[in-house]
Amino acid sequence: MQIKAPRGTYDILPEQSAKWQWMEKILKQTAYEFGYREIRTPIFEHTELFERGVGETSDIVSKEMYTFKDKAERSITLRPEGTASCARAFIEHGFYSGLLPVKWYYSGPMFRYDRPQTGRFRQFHQFGVEAFGSDNPFLDAEVIILLMEIVKLLGVKEPELHINSVGCPVCRPMYRQLLIEYLEPIKTALCSDCQLRYAVNPLRVIDCKNHSCQAAIKEHPLLSDSLCPDCTLHYQKVKSALSANGIDFIHDDNLVRGLDYYTNTAFEVHIPGLGAQSAVGGGGRYNGLVKECGGPDVPGVGFALGMERMLLAADLYQDQQEPANPVDVFIITMESRFIDQAMQLTTQIRRAGISADMDYNDRSPRAQMKFADKIKARLVIMIGEEEIEKGYYLVRDMQTSNQYQVDRETLTENLPGILLKNEED
Ligand SMILES: [Zn+2]
Ligand SMILES: [Zn+2]
């Protein structure tokens, strides 16, 4: 039987990987410009990290994790997100006693046993940033500006930034109580998930995607009316910093984070054109996370974006019209006995930083020419008896059919100029 990729996974083939590399370059370069440096954490961690760092009551931990016992009976989980691992690394390497804030970015595959649907996979990719060690609302603003800058550079059309404040351990318990009192008489109108959430985590009822739930809680008390003076001020500062930096936003009372370690700012970027699952990224402040993961009481803020969904919305790539992964030079071996010299020439060109390839299938020169055309090689160089004897090569531009006679000794010096001419045409 033919073996296929597991359900919910997919291959990024070379013609698509060019677009991925384009996006990754923008993500990393932009984060770098904002002062974030890359961290790479393991793909799997102890299950307990996610139970603490993502929260046992979350859908991710309660339903969607890839958890298994390793051969020593340890409970291991493939990472479902990146923040908990960053918090763990921050604590494990003692960064809290160094220069703060620590600003990191990460990117890579994440794993969730979710029902696969359009744009959602069981192995998917996230890019994210985390800044640990400052409670300053301007740092919240920086993280949001970074996300919006990325969205702009990728050419995402009409992004909508939603923001809210989810309060703090001082004001949120009071709101939670208000919400429980509000939900109590209407709880039978809620979906079965929400009837469970109501007792454990009533805030999560607010962001239930179920329409009947949304209809039932239409008049729910608002978190923004319950914020303490500190949280109100923090939120004001984030909003005015965003405005001062030219970032439009929508205050969204339904944007809540159910977990206790989330504090103050919460945000999401929606792209209405993507349909029902319009959120491509989001984040917020999580002042309780590092402590929850067993470290000292250090504040943090960050975001994560879904790379598959972002790529769907990234419109600028089409404008570039670069052929995917082109080859600069293809060496045509006039007779198979010259394969040795052909390989040396190919190696010489590659060592000069120019992509080059040659024939390994004993094709006729004519068939090699066709092959070079199909892989969109920009130049071909023929190597045969005459070239080897006389010490020069004919370089042919595949688009213009112009030919250049180049001395063997100066070939690698001359190729960049010939390639440039090709680009100008
Ligand atoms: Zn507060
Ligand atoms: Zn519901």
pLDDT digits (tens, 9 = 90+) for 256-265: 876 778 899 9
pLDDT at 363: 96
Tell me how far the alpha carbon of residue 135 lies from the centroid of ligand 1, in angstroms: 13
Among all chains, which residue has been given the structure tokens 């910093």? 241
> What's the pTM?
0.90
Tell me how far the alpha carbon of residue 35 lies from the centroid of ligand 1, in angstroms: 29
- pLDDT of 86 above 60: yes
Among all chains, which residue has been given the structure tokens 């007779």? 335
> Residues 6 or more apart from 283 whose CB is under 8 A from it?
128, 143, 147, 266, 267, 301, 302, 303, 304
pLDDT at 380: 96
Distance, CA of 297 to CA of 309 (rounded, Å): 34
Distance, CA of 129 to CA of 327 (rounded, Å): 34
Length reported for the chain = 425
Q: Are 174 and 226 in contact (CB under 8 A)?
A: yes
Tell me how far the alpha carbon of residue 213 lies from the centroid of ligand 2, in angstroms: 5
> Residues 6 or more apart from 398 whose CB is under 8 A from it?
372, 373, 376, 377, 378, 379, 380
Which of the four CATH numbers 3.40.50.800, 3.60.15.10, 3.20.20.70, 3.30.420.40 does domain 329-424 have? 3.40.50.800
Token pair for residue 379? 């130049």
- pLDDT of 324 above 70: no
Ligand nearest to the CA of 191: 2
For residue range 172-226, list pLDDT tens digits in order. 999 999 999 999 999 888 898 888 878 888 888 888 888 888 888 888 999 999 9
Tell me how far the alpha carbon of residue 187 lies from the centroid of ligand 2, in angstroms: 10
Residue range 293-308: mean pLDDT, rounded: 96
Kindly report which listed range (215-219, 294-298, 360-364) carries the lowest average pLDDT score: 215-219
Residue range 309-332: mean pLDDT, rounded: 79
Ligand nearest to the CA of 285: 1
Tell me how far the alpha carbon of residue 180 lies from the centroid of ligand 2, in angstroms: 14
63: left (phi over 0), alpha (psi -120 to 50) or beta: alpha
Tell me how far the alpha carbon of residue 175 lies from the centroid of ligand 1, in angstroms: 10
For the purposes of burial, counting CB atoms within 10 Å of the CB of 268, is it exposed (0-12), middle (13-18) or buried (19 or more)?
buried
Tell me how far the alpha carbon of residue 267 lies from the centroid of ligand 1, in angstroms: 17
Ligand nearest to the CA of 229: 1
Q: Which residue spans of the chain are classified as CATH 3.40.50.800?
A: 329-424
State the helix-helix crossing angle for 229-244 and 137-153, rounded to 10 degrees. 40
Tell me how far the alpha carbon of residue 193 lies from the centroid of ligand 2, in angstroms: 6
Tell me how far the alpha carbon of residue 200 lies from the centroid of ligand 2, in angstroms: 13
Give the model's confidence band at 104: pLDDT under 50 very low, under 70 low, under 90 confident, else very high: very high
Tell me how far the alpha carbon of residue 231 lies from the centroid of ligand 1, in angstroms: 4
Q: Are 23 and 314 in contact (CB under 8 A)?
A: yes
Q: Which fold has domain 14-171+227-319?
A: BirA Bifunctional Protein; domain 2 (3.30.930)
pLDDT at 210: 85
Kindly report which listed range (25-29, 196-200, 227-231) carries the lowest average pLDDT score: 196-200
pLDDT at 111: 97
Give the model's confidence band at 98: pLDDT under 50 very low, under 70 low, under 90 confident, else very high: very high
Ligand nearest to the CA of 186: 2
Q: What are the CA-CA distances from residue 364 to residues 56, 310, 333, 400 (Å)?
A: 64, 45, 8, 23
Does 170 or 56 have the greater pLDDT score?
170
- pLDDT of 238 above 80: yes
Q: Looking at residue 221, what DSSP letter applies?
A: P
Angle subtended at Cα 112 by Cα 106 and Cα 117, rounded to the nearest 5 degrees? 110
Ligand nearest to the CA of 262: 1
Exposure string of 333-352, with b = 16+ CB inside 10 Å and e = fewer, is: bbeeebbebbeebbeebeee
Tell me how far the alpha carbon of residue 206 lies from the centroid of ligand 2, in angstroms: 8
Q: Which residue spans of the chain are classified as CATH 3.30.930.10?
A: 14-171+227-319
